[in-house]
Structure 1
Amino acid sequence: MMEIQLHNRGEVHETRWNFCVENAFNSSPFGYCESLDLLCDDWIGLVVGNYEVVMPIPLNKRLGYSLIQMPIDVQQLGIYGSPAKIALVTSAIFRLLKIFKFISFNSSLEPIIQLEGVKVEQRTTYQLSLNQDYNSIYAAYSRRVKRNLKFFSSKNLQVGFDSNVGNLLDLRVKMAADVAELKLSQERLINYQQLISHWLSKGLAQLVTAFGSNHEPMSSGLFIKTQQGYIFFLLASSAEGRSHRAAFAVVDYFIKNNCYQKRVFDFWGSDISSIAQFNSGFGARPLSYHHYQKNDLPWVISFMKRNNLYKKMKDILG
């Protein structure tokens, strides 16, 4: 069995880590050190052998405890390496994670790893094969999706690729005014600006934006390129965009310009019925992934976390 070690962020050898991620069968922009630094409050690296397999573990700190918790907007971060080596060490990796008192972690690895004290829930993502022509994909759209695309088209509005990250983030801020769960801190917005700009410059992402009659952005989506396909990472729409069904046009434009590829488009969610209906409406099929959950925190900290009191105290105290 290859040696498995946990490294604090400062102990991770960035060159070896990034080399493993870049050459993994499931390589993804989310796995690189520079991406993790901007996505996660903190993270540690699980390293197998001489960086033959690596796994980022996102952390939050709460009153002296390190909690494994997915970053906001991120469904999965992945385990990187060759399929054979990952299969050899998966069980050992998950057993090692039991040292943490709180785990809220997603993985699509099979089989499910059963660990004492850790609950496993099945959650749903939606995936669409892009290895077909656009007409075939469009034919599988639901009536609702086709109707909304026709409605958007009837308004003679524009949709296309975009390089202005500010359009997406400004829309996200506007949405967060109505949906508190979407709110991002100023630090997170700056991190997103830096990270998305980097991804776009390296050809690791595509940004698609729909514009209103005054050329104001009204819906924008970010699609991340991985070794195996694309991930629908972010979507934001204004009130005008929602009334003009612009989000449907954004996704359709992305699909139209990326079909005929041997890639899979992963919508990254969701079990929320309205989002599931949106995703499945484009012909995407449901696929399960696993949510690992453990909470052995003292009851006071669990209570604060459950009621989001820690964040509220930080906001009050600045």
Structure 2
Amino acid sequence: MELVIENLSKTYPNGTKALNDVSLRIEPGMFGLLGPNGAGKSSLMRTISTLQEADSGSIRLGDIDVLHQPERVRQVLGYLPQEFGVYPKVTAAELLEHFAVLKGISNKSERRQVVDALLHQTNLYNVRNKNLGGYSGGMKQRFGIAQALLGNPRLIIVDEPTAGLDPTERNRFHNLLAEIGEDRIVILSTHIVSDVSDLCRQFAIINKGQVLYTGDPLQAIEEMRGQIWRRLIRKEELSSYQEQFSVISSRLFAGQTIIHVHSVAQPGNGFEGVEPTLEDVYFARIHAAERVAAKSVVA
């Protein structure tokens, strides 16, 4: 089963163009949708999951026309939205069983087996009788994955799942996502670059509703080899360097600022070449698109 998105566009009533002619082809496995906040990631996820309509374009999941057959999509969809609320005074086992009923698992014995299996898979079985209000952020996210897995979905969408998690819970969540992404389509929507580099065989960069790049993370890094340069500067020099060079990122280090510059040639004295990362790919693509947009406005 393959997810094919073609020429998808969506403009909200306030005039915001959330999706602008988006086209993607997504095969089984982990697919990363990478972009800053407000890039259109959640709009795309909500459209795929039939929570909102598109203005134009098409989405097909295998033989399902997603935009015109929402009920068929929901039968094979698991969705963990960015804001996932729970009933704080209900236990994980009780709420998951309730969700299982809504998913159509009517046989009580079968439902109990499914719920127990999912609680084991998400490492929540030992706290299944604890009220969800007492769960940590990571535990709630794992519960969210458990409910998304009900009904053995062929497409799973997780929107910003690791935001706010501590390193231990984030690592545990990564392992869980890697496990469930082996034989179905799992779309991971995030602004955290390392989530994509750690988990995904394919990814896309999206910004301001447009797809800027799609491909293999390792290939994307390879294409950037020899084009990323680093220099340590004083903080007050940053604006000057941004005027002279294509500065794609900067960060503080020991009271000074490290800048990364994208250039096909040595940009000047004091710069050293560095091995590119997916973060460099991401920042370079975003920076290039913003420069093009700025020039078009001036023109």
Asked whether the two chains share a fold, i.e. TM above 0.5, the reply is: no
Q: Which has the higher contact order (CA 8 A, sep 6+)?
A: 1
Scaled by the length of structure 2, the TM-score of the pair is: 0.28
Which one has the largest radius of gyration?
2
